[in-house]
Amino acid sequence: MDLELKTKPEYLESLQWRYATKKFDSSKKLSEDDLNELLESIRLSASSYGLQPYEVLVITDEDIREKLKAAAWNQSQVAEASHLIVFANYAKITEEHVDAYMENIAETRNVSRGDLQGLEDMIKSTTLSRPQEDLQVWGSKQTYIALGNLLSAAANMRIDTCPMEGFDNAKFDEILNLKEKNLQSSVIIPVGYRSEDDSYQDLEKVRKSKSDLFHFV
């Protein structure tokens, strides 16, 4: 019996294909399987200590997205894309976050908390001793690692994206009730499928040359 083999595009080809989509086709929606694969790429992303000091909101409600669009200076992608993903880091990182992470390690790897005492002490001493303002910046940086993973995964699946910092964080936090959840919005990314009318898809990708970008020491 002959089997049809599906081959995924080469990684660099996928990155070349990707661009920050300016106009989405609102009639095209991600399948549940594709959405779950994208979310899994976020879940599996690297983070400092593996702590993942953030949470991720997947917004589909049209009324909420219209409000968020207004808080993003009416950029159409927020409402037109299949889904809007909001990365939100913890506003305050506490000992309870580290404890929950230790419990997760113990359960996942079938070890005792006592076996993890050295790791726990190290993480708590190097994080919780820092000012919360520093931890907020650190947490926000961690969301960008996950964002990069999502961008690459989406490109490999030929799903379009547009990472965005152009939004009013305070208004997003208010609309999504993030303050009550000890969260603050960091970066957002509409995901879906490009419109045939989006002229940006035909533009040549502009990047630094290798000689300008890379330096070998």
Number of CB atoms found within 10 A of residue 21's CB: 23
Distance (Å, whole) CA 130 – CA 127: 6
61: helix, strand or coil: coil
Q: How far is CA 203 from the centre of its chain?
A: 25
Q: Which two tokens stand for residue 121?
A: 């002490």
Distance (Å, whole) CA 12 – CA 83: 25
Distance (Å, whole) CA 164 – CA 172: 13
CA distances from 58 to 26, 61, 100, 109, 205 (A): 16, 9, 23, 29, 29
Number of CB atoms found within 10 A of residue 193's CB: 18
pLDDT at 34: 98
pLDDT tens per residue across all 217 residues of the chain: 444 545 556 999 999 999 999 999 999 999 999 999 999 999 999 999 999 999 999 999 999 999 999 999 999 999 999 999 999 999 999 999 999 999 999 999 999 999 999 999 999 999 999 999 999 999 999 999 999 999 999 999 999 999 999 999 999 999 999 999 999 999 999 999 999 999 999 999 999 999 999 999 9
